[in-house]
Amino acid sequence: MPRSVYSDSSWANADLLKSQAGFMVFIAGGNIDSYEGDAVTLLDWRSRRIKRQCRSTLAAETMAMDSAVDAGIFCRELFAEALIQDYVPTTSGRLPTSFMAVLAVTDCRSLYDLLVKDGAPSTTQEKRLTIDISGLKEIATEFDPEGEQLKEVFRWVATESQVADHLTKVKPSHLLRAILEYGWLKLRRIESSILTNLRFWGVQFP
């Protein structure tokens, strides 16, 4: 049973050029990562101003994902305490990698590329972001200890499939309302004849 976290931001869209970040944490059935999809339930969400002055869209998107992944990990630990009799977060060590693995979803292509790239994170113009991205990749070792399947931890979707988009900007609410009404979500690979070797993931309903 995975946990899917969607994160999004709007760069410098508020007073004093502050940026907005939002995330949604869903608990999902095991088939969410398939053509059929699976049932989902919203566990947590947040929409807030980012305290740090972000110098780029990449910086804002990184901060949004950092908050989203933290929330997903926190929910995972709560479920572990409830479902595993002898589990104590401070003394029991790491959970099994398959236990409620987190799928972190972004529509920021540059962030996704930095996260799934092999080896140490590339240095960006903002060196602090290199530390933030390294932290996200370190968290990913909870589910991919060897760092060889990062594309199964971090996912990229087109903007129209980014459900957290509704938390950072004004847009038609039908997509988000449909997800909350039907309680169903799927991440489906869609082949593209225009862009080769690029993975598209879409949101669909039963």
Q: Which of 44, 70, 65, 46 is nearest to 54 (CA)?
A: 65
All structural domains of the chain, each given as residue ranges with its CATH number in brackets, are 3-202 (3.30.420.10)
d(CA 73, CA 80) in angstroms, rounded, equals 10
Residue 87: Cβ within 10 Å count: 16
Please tell me the distance from the alpha carbon of residue 142 to that of residue 128, in angstroms, as a whole number.
23
Q: What phi, psi does 123 have (nearest 5°)? A: -75, 125
> What's the pLDDT at 94?
83
Q: What percent of the chain has pLDDT over 90?
A: 38
Q: What's the confidence (pLDDT) of residue 188?
A: 64
Q: What is the pLDDT of residue 13?
A: 80
Average pLDDT, the chain: 83
Query: Taking a C-beta distance cutoff of 8 angstroms, is the pair 33, 103 a contact?
Result: yes
Task: Decide if pLDDT at 53 tops 70.
Answer: yes
Report pLDDT digits (tens) over 66-108.
999 999 999 999 999 989 888 888 787 888 888 998 999 999 9
Two tokens at 30? 């095991």
Please, which contacts does 31-34 make with residues 24 or more away whose CB atoms are closer than 8 Å? 31/186, 32/2, 32/4, 32/103, 32/185, 32/186, 32/187, 33/2, 33/103, 33/187, 34/186, 34/187, 34/188
For residues 183-198, give the mean pLDDT.
Answer: 56
pLDDT value of position 123? 56
- In this prediction, what percent of the chain has a pLDDT beyond 70? 86
Q: Supply 131's token pair.
A: 């530390």
pLDDT of residue 67: 94
Count the Cβ atoms, other than its own, within 10 Å of residue 95.
19
* 191 vs 186 pLDDT, higher one: 186
- HSE-CB at 191 with a 13 A cutoff on CA atoms is 1
Phi-psi region of 193 (alpha: psi -120 to 50; beta: other; left: phi over 0): alpha
